[in-house]
């Protein structure tokens, strides 16, 4: 019962945390223009978060292994709250960059929450619980932009202050409702210094047969998804020529399909017990749908390709996180989850960059580039299945 309570508290924290992130991201460009943000610098502003997160997340994860998940999750959420306040009070471009970097540095809440789910889950329930947590993050991202759009009608700074407020709610929930899940710190062994993080771990983790392959597959699939997002935006505007409201609804639908699939993980696990096999098959479907989308010239083929891609892409994180957790030591859970998130953040940066470079060929080439990344991930997922 305690595990169930902890999971649902984490779910609620994840929803409000990702909703806060979803609220501000669509507003970054329009809000930042008065401080000198351009089409070029918005990319740098976005990348600043990912780069800071790349270096900070595994450190926070490692600290949660030694000193407990609960205090590190609270600290991460406080950092998020302060960064949103900095946005609302910003008076220069430098302050906007400082806010994004601070949020990236303290952005370990995802990996710490994943480590907590791993702590409380049996091997049988791990994929299901990761699916529930992933659905919570996804739900927040889907409703966040809509909430931000409504709040912006009351003032351009209101969404940022509201996001800060709900981040602080997350802090209070963590402090007063969440129980520590790291057994070592619960047993009073937090001063054990048998393992210290250093950045060489970012490389050495990749040498582990199962974990390293899973992290690399996750990196490739994340890069493919964020490449696709650029194609999605370009195709809907330049080819389909639909208005922003319809684009927003289509993107929300894309997010909802992934959430539904994550909630279906327990049923899928009853049909296919191998997590690596589920990952391999879902990646193959995503590959086919991305190639199909590359040939789309109208709404129907594009919507079918995107809808099925979004549906099966929803299986990626629950399966990868479960595989990583199953093959990980208790003393390094937080660190390895942090490293996994670090590589994902780099994929989030490289995907849009490479998509921007290949756009010069054609808008369709973006989807084929995404398909190439998925193809490589599929080949490595076969390797992962053989090593599971």
CATH code of 344's domain: 1.20.1250.20
Q: Are residues 330 and 225 located together in one domain of the fold? A: yes
The confidence score (pLDDT) of residue 155 equals 86
Q: Are residues 71 and 211 located together in one domain of the fold? A: no
User: What average pLDDT does this structure show over 306-329?
Assistant: 91
123 is a domain residue: yes
- Which of 46-50, 156-160, 245-249, 359-363 has the lowest average pLDDT? 245-249
pLDDT band at 1 (very low <50, low <70, confident <90, very high): very low
Q: Are residues 29 and 169 located together in one domain of the fold? A: yes
User: What average pLDDT does this structure show over 155-171?
Assistant: 90
The confidence score (pLDDT) of residue 194 equals 46
88 is a domain residue: yes
Q: Are residues 206 and 176 located together in one domain of the fold? A: no
The domain tally of the chain equals 2
Q: Are residues 60 and 165 located together in one domain of the fold? A: yes
Half-sphere exposure of 46 (CA within 13 A, CB side): 22
Residue 138 contacts by C-beta under 8 Å, 6 or more apart in sequence?
Answer: 18, 255, 258, 259, 262, 314
Q: Are residues 71 and 161 located together in one domain of the fold? A: yes
Q: Are residues 242 and 302 located together in one domain of the fold? A: yes
pTM beyond cutoff 0.85: no
Q: Are 83 and 23 in contact (CB under 8 A)?
A: no
Half-sphere exposure of 239 (CA within 13 A, CB side): 19
User: What average pLDDT does this structure show over 297-312?
Assistant: 93
The confidence score (pLDDT) of residue 291 equals 97
Q: Are residues 91 and 215 located together in one domain of the fold? A: no
Q: Are residues 171 and 309 located together in one domain of the fold? A: no
The confidence score (pLDDT) of residue 3 equals 65
Tell me: pLDDT of 195 over 90. Answer: no
92: containing domain: 1-180
| Chain length of the chain | 388
Q: Are residues 227 and 161 located together in one domain of the fold? A: no
How many beta carbons lie within 10 A of that of residue 193, not counting itself? 7
């Amino acid at each position: 019962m305690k595990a169930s309570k902890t999971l649902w508290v984490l779910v609620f924290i994840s929803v409000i945390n990702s909703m806060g992130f979803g609220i501000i991201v669509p507003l970054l460009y329009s809000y930042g223009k008065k401080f000198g943000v351009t089409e070029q610098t918005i990319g740098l502003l976005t990348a600043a978060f990912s780069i800071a997160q790349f270096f900070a997340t595994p450190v926070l994860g490692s600290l949660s292994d030694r000193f407990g998940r609960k205090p590190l999750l609270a600290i991460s959420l406080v950092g998020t709250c302060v960064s949103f306040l900095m946005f609302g009070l910003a008076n220069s471009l430098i302050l906007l960059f400082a806010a994004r970097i601070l949020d990236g540095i303290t952005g370990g809440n995802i990996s710490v929450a994943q480590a907590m789910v791993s702590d409380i889950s049996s091997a049988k329930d791990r994929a299901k619980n990761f699916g529930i947590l992933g659905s919570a993050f996804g739900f927040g991202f889907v409703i966040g932009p809509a909430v931000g759009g409504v709040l912006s009608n009351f003032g351009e700074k209101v969404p940022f202050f509201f996001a800060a407020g709900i981040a602080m709610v997350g802090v209070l929930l963590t402090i007063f409702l969440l129980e520590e899940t790291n057994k070592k710190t619960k047993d009073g062994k937090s001063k054990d210094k048998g393992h210290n993080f250093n950045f060489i771990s970012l490389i050495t983790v990749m040498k582990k047969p199962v974990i390293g392959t899973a992290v690399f597959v996750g990196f490739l699939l994340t890069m493919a998804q964020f490449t696709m997002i650029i194609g999605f935006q370009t195709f809907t505007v330049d080819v389909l020529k639909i208005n922003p409201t319809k684009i927003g609804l289509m993107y929300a639908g894309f997010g909802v399909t992934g959430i539904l699939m994550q909630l279906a993980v327990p049923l899928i696990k009853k049909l296919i017990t191998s997590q690596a096999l589920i990952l391999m098959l879902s990646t193959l479907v995503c590959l086919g749908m991305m190639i199909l989308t590359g040939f789309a010239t109208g709404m129907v083929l594009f919507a079918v390709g995107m809808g099925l891609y979004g549906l099966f892409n929803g299986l990626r994180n629950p399966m990868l996180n479960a595989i990583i957790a199953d093959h990980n030591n208790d003393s390094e859970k937080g660190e390895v989850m942090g490293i996994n998130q670090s590589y994902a953040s780099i994929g989030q940066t490289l995907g849009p960059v490479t998509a921007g470079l290949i756009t010069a060929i054609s808008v369709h080439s973006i989807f084929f580039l995404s398909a190439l990344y998925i193809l490589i991930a599929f080949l490595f997922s076969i390797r992962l299945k053989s090593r599971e």
